[in-house]
Amino acid sequence: MSPHRRPLLRAAALLPPVVAAGALLTGCGNAGELESAGPTPTAIGPVRLWPELPPVTAPPIDYGESDSERVPGVRAPGGDVHGVDPVAVVQAEVAAHPDQYSGGDALYAETAERIRACGSRPKACPVLAPHYRDLTGDGKDELIVGIRMPDQQVGVRCYMPEKGGLTRIMSTVDQVVRVELAGRDLVLRVVSAGIPGYEYRTAWSWDDHQRTMLPTRDEIIRVKPVPPPPDPASAPDPSMTDPSAADPAATGPFAPDDGTSPPGPAAPPAASPSPRAGAR
């Protein structure tokens, strides 16, 4: 041990343990060491309000979040959803529920008609390009399908490969602004009606007990407004602010002399073409 460090250690031994530890930590000047974050606020546990409220006797309204359904007639050999036609999947559900106007299979009549005609009119088909992600954590991708609907609404459905076929584990419809994948969560961002500058953000997560995707996190978030793109019609005319833009001859060596600028050097006489000019 170096003799120069003994006084420091001896002094630290006379201090209380907490003070000594602090002296050793603050005495080092190496970068990257721990620093104090200040006092920690005291944790306040949940406080129950109105404990005299009676318990719930009727179940809440079922919005179908926990419903799942086998897709009839669609096969997924080997549990691989990448080889499944998403249009055929939605068409199979439309055929199985032609008059369904509520629940997970609900579709507008015009949307259902366009889905049936996807084969003959592919450009008008409302089924969006599919996406894939392992949402259940079993090592196999799920099929994620979007369906365009009237009034800027989008239907989002997820399908899990199971027993050689597909099981729908999620179905919802809303005015979706954006759909994102975050890990194993499917995040939907929806316009927050009546609150300008805010959006609803709902994270759908796989629930092992219900064997479906459930809206596990629902919140309202502040979003920054996106500036509109510039309107080309409102752009100023360059000729109104820059005279040179109106007359191409107003710039360069052939600018007219209007007496406002000093004359430049005389242009040299034109030289005859060099026989080596074309050899460059």
For the chain, the average pLDDT equals 77
Q: Give the per-residue pLDDT at 196.
A: 87
> Rounded to an integer, what distance in angstroms lies between the CA atom of residue 174 and that of residue 152?
8
Show the tokens assigned to 71.
Answer: 């897709």
* CA 265 vs CA 32, 251, 262: distances in Å: 65, 15, 10
Instruction: Please state the pTM of the whole predicted model.
Output: 0.63
Label residue 39 by pLDDT band (50, 70, 90): confident
Instruction: Over range 258-268, report the average pLDDT.
Output: 45
Q: Where are the domains of the chain?
A: 69-222
User: Is pLDDT above 70 for 211?
Assistant: yes
Q: Give the per-residue pLDDT at 228.
A: 76
Which stretch of DSSP H or E encloses residue 179? strand 176-182
Q: Give the per-residue pLDDT at 144.
A: 98
pLDDT (tens digit, 9 = 90+) per residue, 79-138? 999 999 999 999 999 998 877 656 667 788 899 999 999 999 999 999 999 999 999 999
* CA 137 vs CA 39, 43, 134, 160, 274: distances in Å: 40, 34, 6, 11, 77
**In the chain, what is the straight-line distance between the N-terminal and C-terminal CA atoms, in Å?**
77
Q: Give the per-residue pLDDT at 229.
A: 78
Q: Give the per-residue pLDDT at 266.
A: 45
Q: Which of the pair, 4 or 55, is modelled with greater confidence?
A: 55
Q: What is the sign of the dihedral through the CA atoms of 100, 102, 107 and 108? A: positive
User: Is pLDDT above 80 for 14?
Assistant: no
Instruction: Over range 223-250, report the average pLDDT.
Output: 62
Q: Give the per-residue pLDDT at 86.
A: 97
Strand partners, 154: 148, 174
Label residue 255 by pLDDT band (50, 70, 90): very low
